[in-house]
Amino acid sequence: MTTENSSTKSGLVAELPLWEVFTQPPNGAPHEHAGSVHAADAEMALLGARDVYARRGNVVSLWVVPTNMITASVSQDNPAFFDPMDDKVYRHPQFYKSPKGVKNL
């Protein structure tokens, strides 16, 4: 591959919008983030997602979402967002002991 080709290539990819891909496995589990694809529009993103993330099977449904539509937390948010949960073990169901004699809990 020549230098000229590779610069054209990265130029093309840079122009195409990015889409996040979510796949759903056949057992009824929720859609999970699988990765991303570059595509000019939603239909092409769906086809790209099919070819890149569903070609080995185990998928019954695909979502593609424009990456720029996702609002993400940033690392500066972490202390305020997530640290307080570290010392609140009572927010986990495992914190509570099952009363004796209660079945089917």
Residues that bind another protein (CB under 8 A): 9, 12-13, 16, 37-41, 43-44, 47-48, 50-52, 55
Min dist. Cβ of residue 31 to another protein (A): 20
Which of 13/85 has CB closer to another protein? 13
Min dist. Cβ of residue 39 to another protein (A): 7
For residue 53, the SS3 value is helix
Min dist. Cβ of residue 56 to another protein (A): 11
What is the SS3 string spanning 75-89?
A: HHHHHHHCHHHHHCH
Burial annotation 55-72 (CB, 10 A radius, 16+ → b, else e): eeeebeebbbeeeeeeee
Which of 55/103 has CB closer to another protein? 55
Radius of gyration of the chain (CA): 22
Which of 12/85 has CB closer to another protein? 12
